[in-house]
């Protein structure tokens, strides 16, 4: 079995799972918004549905509709997605999954 643990890249102060299938401008904006939204989260506390909703609203407003956002701790993802419409990254200890459907 292949070890995939090393497939992370630091970008804009976030750890991004590679390969990342999102336009770099979209990724940067989404990471910056995620950092802004999660900045008020106390260390060790869990993100709320409102955190994901704010990131989703940003993506819907800036990159077309139908984005799905999951935020939390200790989860991974394996999914089929539309081309150039997927990112999985960490802001500090919080994982953020962003994907778009049509």
Q: How far apart are the first and last CA of the chain?
A: 34
Q: Cα(36)–Cα(16) distance, rounded to whole angstroms?
A: 17
**Other CB atoms within 10 A of residue 25 CB:** 10
Is the pLDDT assigned to residue 3 strictly greater than 50? no
Dihedral (Cα; 76, 21, 18, 54), 10-degree rounding: -50
Return phi, psi of residue 93, to 5°. -95, 0
> pTM here?
0.89
Q: Which one-letter DSSP state was computed for residue 32? A: H
* 8 against 82, higher pLDDT: 8
* 74 against 6, higher pLDDT: 74
Q: Cα(68)–Cα(10) distance, rounded to whole angstroms?
A: 23
Each residue's pLDDT tens digit, 21-48? 999 999 999 999 999 999 989 888 999 9
CB-based contact 12:89 (threshold 8 Å): no
Each residue's pLDDT tens digit, 75-97? 888 877 888 999 999 999 999 99
């Amino acid at each position: 079995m292949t070890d995939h643990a090393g497939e992370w890249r630091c970008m804009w102060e976030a750890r991004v799972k590679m390969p990342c299938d999102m336009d770099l401008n979209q990724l940067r904006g989404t990471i910056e918004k995620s950092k802004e939204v999660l900045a008020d989260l106390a260390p060790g506390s869990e993100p709320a549905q409102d955190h994901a909703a704010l990131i989703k609203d940003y993506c819907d407003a800036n990159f077309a509709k139908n984005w799905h956002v999951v935020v939390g701790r200790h989860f991974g993802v394996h999914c089929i997605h539309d081309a150039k419409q997927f990112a999985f990254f960490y802001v500090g200890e919080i994982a953020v999954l962003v994907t778009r459907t049509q």
